[in-house]
Amino acid sequence: MESTSEPGYVTLASGDGFEFILPRSAACVSGTIRRMLDPNSKFAEALTGYCVFDSFSGLVLEKVCEYLLYNEKHKSSKNVADMDIPSDICLELLIAADYLDV
């Protein structure tokens, strides 16, 4: 577990060892991640910028990160096309979305 080198970025890690670095602003679309990274929370993640999600596979976390970036990119756009979501991970993504408060 290493600290992210740039303060504007955070690292999200899956239970199977995959890591994704993305802008803090995109990650904070998730209410759960926003609370984890809040400096007043006293969570280790707030100090390191490194969040581990043991119950998420790399495949699911990758799709979550894709959504967070997609959401930030299109936040002020109208009539945005839906993301392509593989049907075989829909249930896992719903569980992740609920947990991450997105």
For 25-53, the pLDDT digits (tens) are: 999 999 999 999 999 998 999 999 999 99
The pTM of this model reads 0.88
Task: Please give the structure tokens belonging to residue 64.
Answer: 């979550």
- 14-28 burial: b if 16+ Cβ within 10 Å, else e: beeebebebebebbb
CATH topology (fold) of 9-100: Potassium Channel Kv1.1; Chain A (3.30.710)
Contact criterion met (CB below 8 Å) for 20 and 12: yes
Q: Which residue has the higher pLDDT, 19 or 78?
A: 19
pLDDT digits (tens, 9 = 90+) for 70-102: 999 998 888 888 888 999 999 999 999 999 999
